[in-house]
Every structure is written in structure tokens, then in C-alpha cells.
Structure 1
Amino acid sequence: MSNSRAAAVLTTPDLAEALHAVRTLLGLADLSQAEVDFEATLRTPQALTRVLRLMPDLKWRALAGEEHGSSESGADPLVCLPVSVHDWCHPLDLAEPFIAALGRDSAGVRWDLNGWPEVPEAGLCLITQKYAYLTLSVNSRDLYQDEPAPDHTVYVHVRDVGLDLDRVEWLAARAGGRFEGKVELSPL
């Protein structure tokens, strides 16, 4: 297992602005084998119902612990609220409907990309799949929903921010943001 460093490049209370930044960054990335992963804390019956309508085979567990219910046990997730969602390897077109279904609940949506581009004029080499990720924290100021907030944060993942600072700053500029020094370790 390896880790990437997730560098915050945009924090905004405007979800449309955050999604625009994500779309811009996705437009730069190699998406040939890309997929999207979801981690969320669903607290409301409304959000859970909307997400289940979208993803009937959703993988979840009770936030109080798996012994209190999970998708594997066949329990009713509405009885187990709040629930933690960890569902992986979905097609990219599921990301925005999932985000829309959240309402005010928090989530981390991570796009697993095939690579960040080579940009010779900026001195940037190709970054391959191992360190090419993009995360949008929805209604949270961190990757893991430990800080629920009315804000949304866009992170770009790289091998090491110190070594890849030029790439972080280049991507941030394209996303309409800027790197302000917030970095989180992201186990992959």
C-alpha cells in the first residue's frame, strides 16, 4: 500500500463552483481507465433514500459499528442511521448524481485517474495512475468528513507536495483556486 498527498486547491461554499473546478481538472487528466469512489456519512433518511435510489447495491455500515447493521448483513439502512458509505470502482458519470443526492450530508468523492498530463512548458512530467487522483470533499473541510462544514474542498493528489509543488500550483491555477498549504495524507 502506498500513500498520496492530497493538496487542497479550492475551498468554496458554492458547490457549483467546486464542481466546475472538478470538471476542469478532469478535462486535463487521462481518463482512459478512470473510475470514481465514494466515502460518505449519511445522516438523514432523505439523503440515504436518494442515494439508495441511485445505487441500490450501495455498500454501507452503521456508523456505530458493523454489528449494528451493514449492507452485508441485509439490515435496513434507514433503521441504522447514521451510516458510513465506502463504495468503490464506479463509472465517472455516477459522481455528480451521487453528489446531488447528498443534500447537506458529507462525502468524499475520489476520481481515480489514469494520469496527470505532461506539461513541458511548465516543466511537469507525466504522473501515472499511482499518484493521479482528484477528490471533492462535499460539505466537509477534510478528506474523511471529520470536519462537517457548509464548504466544499477540491484536492489534487500527488506523490509528494514538496517534490510536486509546481504541479499542485499549476492544477490549482487551472481549477480557479490556489494552493494555500493544506495537505492531507491519503492512504490508497
Structure 2
Amino acid sequence: MSNSAAAAVLTTADLPEAVRAVRTLLGIADIGQGEVDFEAVIRSPDVLARVRHVLPDLEWWASAGKEHGSSEVGDNAADCLPIRVFDWGRPADRAELFIAALGPDPAAVRWDLNAWPAVPEAGLEAISQKYAYLTLTVNSRDLYQDEPSQDHTVHVHVRNWNGDQIAYVHWLADQVGGRFTGRVESASL
């Protein structure tokens, strides 16, 4: 297993602005097949119903632990709230529908990219598939929903923290009117 460095490039209370930034970054990235991973903490029956409409075969377990309920054993998610969602490898067209279903609950949506392409005019080399990801955290400042918030953060993933990678993060932030503030998390891949 390896890790990427996830750099926060835009934090905003305006979810449509965050989604526009994601769309812009996806337009830059080599997205290939466009798989998406979902993580969330779902607390209410209303949010659960909306998320289940988007992802009918949702993978989850009770926040208190799998022994208190999970999709693996066929438990009813509504009886186990709050639940944690770890649903990976979904089609990209589910992402915005999932985001719209969340309401106030915290989540992370991660796009698995083929690469961040080379940008010769900026002197930037490509970042390979192994480390190229884009994450939008909704109602959370961090990748793992440990810091609930009223705002949303766009994170770009790169391989490691060297001068070339930092330059790429600054360039991506500029493309969405954001600013790299130095906030970086290690993301397990």
C-alpha cells in the first residue's frame, strides 16, 4: 500500500462553487474510466433514503462497529444509524448525485484519475495514476470526516512533497481560483 499527499486547494461554504472547481480540475486531468469512491457518515433516515436512491447497493457499517450492523450481513441501515459508508469503484456519473443527496452529513468523494497531465508551458511533469486523485470533502475539512464543518474542501493528490509536486499543486489551485494554504493530509491508496 502507498500514500499520496492530498493538498487542500479550495475551501468554501458554497457547495456549487466547490463542485464547479471539481469539474474544472476533472477537465484538466486524464480521467480515463472515471471511477469514484465514496466515504461518508450518514446520521439521518432522510439522507440515507436519498443516498440509497443514488447507490441502491450501498456498502456500509454501523459507526459503532461492524458488530452493530453492516451491509455485509444484510442488516437494515436505517436501524443502525449513524452509519459509515465506504463504497468504492463506482461510475463517475454517481458523484454529483451522491453529493446532492448528503444534506448536512459529512462525506468525501474521490475521483481516481489516470494522471495529472504534463503542463509543459508551466514546466510541470505528469503525475502518474498511482498518485493522481481528486477529493471533494463535503461538510468536512478532512479526508476522513473527523473534522465536521459547514464548508467544503477540494483536495488534489500528488506523489510526495518535493518542489515539482508543490509547484503542480499551486498551478492546480490557480486554475480554480483557489490557493494552496499548506494544509496537506496523507491519503492511503
Same amino acid, percent of matched pairs? 65
Counterpart position of 2:188: 187
Q: Deviations over 1:158-188 (max 9, x none)?
A: 0113340110000000011010000000010
Cα separation, 2, equivalents of 1:162 and 1:178:
18
Q: Does the residue aligned with 1:116 lie in a helix, a strand or coil? A: coil
| Counterpart contact for 1:136–1:154, Cα < 8 Å | yes
Q: Which residue of 2 aligns with 1:139?
A: 139
CA distance in structure 1 between the aligned counterparts of 2:9 and 2:162, rounded to whole angstroms: 15
SS of structure 1 residue aligned to 2:9: strand
- Consecutive unaligned residues in structure 1, runs of 5 or more: none
Shift of 1:27: 0.2
Question: How many Å separate the matches in 2 of 1:10 and 1:162?
Answer: 21
1:60 corresponding residue in structure 2: 60
Task: Give 3-state SS (helix, strand or coil) of 1:130's partner.
Answer: coil
- Alpha-carbon distance, 1:127 to partner: 1.3
Structure 2 distance, partners of 1:102, 1:161, is 32
TM-score, normalising length: structure 2: 0.98
Shift of 1:34: 2.3
What is aligned with 2:16?
16
Q: Give the Cα separation in 1 of the matches to 2:55 and 2:33.
A: 21
Q: CA separation in 2, counterparts of 1:110 and 1:32? A: 14
- Alpha-carbon deviations, 1:46-82, whole Å to 9, x = none? 1011101111110000000000000011111001000
Which residue number in structure 2 is paired with residue 167 of structure 1? 168
- Amino acid across the alignment from 2:89: C
Unmatched tracts of structure 2, length 5 or more: none
Matches of 2:110 and 2:73, distance apart in 1: 26
SS at match of 1:39: strand
Cα distance in 2 for partners of 1:178, 1:83 equals 33
In 1: Cα distance, 2:153 partner to 2:52 partner = 24
- Equivalence for 1:116: 116
Equivalent AA in structure 2 for residue 34 of structure 1: G
RMSD of Structure 2 on Structure 1 (CA): 0.7
Matched AA of 1:43: R
Aligned residue-pair number: 188
| Structure 1: 4+ residue segments shifted above 6 A | none
Helix, strand or coil for the counterpart of 2:73? Answer: coil
The answer to whether the 8 A contact 1:28-1:117 is kept is yes
